[in-house]
Structure 1
């Protein structure tokens, strides 16, 4: 059985005070809920400037820390970039790659995502590769075509499926308050697992698939009840300790 995974993507939010308060609340719950911890992995992905603080606060807990992106280059004259090896040396475990906001606002291509994926795996990071369609693409009946192309573009054969997690994030649901129905989400997750099976049937069955797109405590139980949804990539709700903890708890219930 695939272990549940809940990852909080903090995006460009946070201050030293808010990070300490948020993680303090989560760490209190982490200590008190050993059974939940045993069934579900939890991670937070703060901004680069808050990584060291988060790693220090989470050092004695089961909460892992990851980055929201990494460079495809190892080192050099690349102003503003952060190498995967630097993140690994700092102590990060996870890294989010190919998020729709990176694709939209920074023109990241599938080829670039593939290069970042290779760099992350080589550095020993656990990558979360994001895929998903826009509202226009879904309404045009192109959702599966788009997602398949993103998967094929990122998974070039250099990286085995055992090394990664895939997050389906329908772009039309991110930050809009809209959420894919459990049936819509499951249909796409089934399709994604089928695409992965074309690469490696054995590892595809073990690859964890996350749903991301206005995930909240109020809607997550039905999503987690779907057979191919193994967890969530959480945005805004990850900034509220009670909401994020409730999502983790729901994942633990689904894993029973």
Structure 2
């Protein structure tokens, strides 16, 4: 963790969740999170119901937004729509968006600015593929993605960085403690180059097969200011166990 930064445990439900799953959100809202903030990013179909279920006790996020506030973009959701439904955050640039929809760093930066326009906090996702990791390109990929995806106007109050090595998402694989420490230290350094003193206050989350069994170890690493949790965020018991692993 970074001294002086309150950790954030964020859940990403991805394309999962029906009305029957609202009870998991209600169970999360009944829990105490102690020294961490908590965020759940649900599908757009559940946004308004999740807002009611969470009762403001957890923050609510969308999983993507369009760059425009409104217009002829069938099937898309604007940041303003998410905010109107009760969201406080939105993920932008998740690897699955980059891979499945061809989103570039420039598009991700534009979406971050759209999030700010609507009063949302942008959770900007970055991370290397398996081929890039095996080719020894992890740090160079991060050095490209950060200035490309993070606008120079980013502030700690409206921006969170989430490092997710693509090859670790949903695979059960995680980098070594040393690898995570190296990546997060590098991200902090690149943010300092881009943003100056503001970088020292910005939260950097780790994501990629975060589970109750490895959360304590991951959250104890320097510059890891929380976690972006995928599958383990679908069940309140698992998500709460990860949140409880945050150092006090």
Q: Offset of 1:162 from its aligned partner? A: 4.3
> 1:55: which partner in 2?
51
User: Aligned-residue CA RMSD in angstroms?
Assistant: 1.2
TM-score, length-scaled by structure 1: 0.93
Q: How does 1:1-256 map to 2 (within 5 A)?
A: 1-18=4-21, 20-28=22-30, 30=31, 33=32, 36-37=33-34, 39-59=35-55, 61-251=56-246, 254=247, 256=248
Higher helix share: 1
- Counterpart Cα distance in 2 of 1:27 and 1:91: 15
Q: Are the aligned partners of 1:161 and 1:200 in contact in 2 as well (CA < 8 Å)? A: no
CA distance in structure 1 between the partners assigned to 2:7 and 2:153 by the alignment: 26
Gaps of 5+ in 2: none
When normalised by structure 2's length, the TM-score is 0.96
Question: Partners in 2 of 1:64 and 1:12 — Cα distance?
Answer: 19
Paired residue secondary structure (2:66): coil
Q: Runs of 5+ in structure 1 lacking a partner?
A: none
Q: Please report how far the alpha carbon of residue 201 of structure 1 lies from its aligned counterpart in structure 2 after TM superposition.
A: 2.9
Please give the alpha-carbon distance, in whole angstroms, between the structure 1 residues aligned to 2:203 and 2:152: 18
Q: For the residues of structure 2 that align with 1:160 and 1:11, how far apart are their CA atoms?
A: 26
Residues 148/162 of structure 1: CA separation in 2 closer, same or farther (3 Å cut)? farther
In the TM superposition, structure 1's runs of 4+ consecutive aligned residues that sit over 6 Å from their partners are none
Partner of 2:213: helix, strand, or coil? coil
The size of the alignment, in residue pairs, is 245
